[in-house]
Amino acid sequence: MKAAAKIISGAEYLIALTGAGVSRESNVPTFRGVDGLWRNYDPMQLATPHAFARDPKLVWEWYSWRQALIAECDPNPAHTTLAEWEANAILRCLITQNVDGLHRRAGSEKVLEVHGDLWATKCSSCGYRGRLDSPAVGIPLCPECNSMLRPNVVWFGESLNRDIMTRVHEELSLADVILVVGTSALVQPAASFPLVVKYTGGKIVETNIEHTPLTPASDVHVSGKAGEVLPLLDQLL
């Protein structure tokens, strides 16, 4: 913990990468692991363009269920600590794989949501983009062309948004320390972002309740729950 605090305090340009583990203590299920979303649902049946083409109703049911679940969740001390660090210019940018919006709700402003936003929609055939303000009922239709809307999230096999990726790469090149919180580091390209910082001479601080493929490349690994580790780290700065 002290070693992690020392690296963070000494950082010239600290950024963070978060995954589902940062929201676990807000009661948002993670994807993998014992109580993960993928235990009961096969991601390949739900989080792919092919799945949506085959059974859009099933895919929307899954997203609508998650929207309802997340609407009941609130940011936890991990989210609020990161938001405070941004406000105090300790943290320069937050890259998140999460689509739950909890970082923004905690007050973080410089957030790059690389896998999209659970409440955002886009048309499956025209360029329409929209937002839901309550969980979807059935299959929402495009107000412009009446085709099916889909969640504006990034599914397997899809490219990440180009403008967001440009900004991610700018941040990765500026960063000398990246704090990686609660990601299994299995899904590309996000899993490789910390390595970009490392290969340009920067450091990786990882915190997670388990080891990940990034642990061997990390300068420090802090074992523990994000909602406990981050406030403790804050006290040591």
* Residues contributing to the site for Zn ion (CB under 5 A): 123, 126, 128, 142, 144-145, 147
Least CB distance to ligand BJW at residue 167 (A)? 17
Instruction: CB nearer to Zn ion: give 93 or 123.
Output: 123
Least CB distance to Zn ion at residue 148 (A)? 9
Which residues of the shown chain bind ligand BJW in the complex (CB under 6 A)? 19-21, 24-25, 30-33, 36, 47, 97, 99, 115, 153-159, 182-184, 186-189, 208-210, 212, 225-226
Active-site residue flag, 115: yes
Which residues, in sequence order, are CB contacts of 188 under 8 Å at separation 6+?
none
Instruction: CB nearer to ligand BJW: give 34 or 137.
Output: 34
Phi-psi region of 198 (alpha: psi -120 to 50; beta: other; left: phi over 0): alpha
Cα–Cα distances (Å) from 48 to 69, 83, 89, 151, in that order, read 21, 32, 38, 11
Which residue, 126, 128, 91, 125, is CA-closest to 111? 91
Residue 49 binds which entry of ligand BJW, Zn ion, none, CB below 5-8 Å type-dependent: none
Instruction: CB nearer to Zn ion: give 123 or 226.
Output: 123
Instruction: Name the catalytic one among 50, 79, 103, 115.
Output: 115
Collapsing DSSP to helix, strand or coil, 149 comes out as: strand
Sign for the pseudo-dihedral over CA of 101, 105, 106, 111: positive
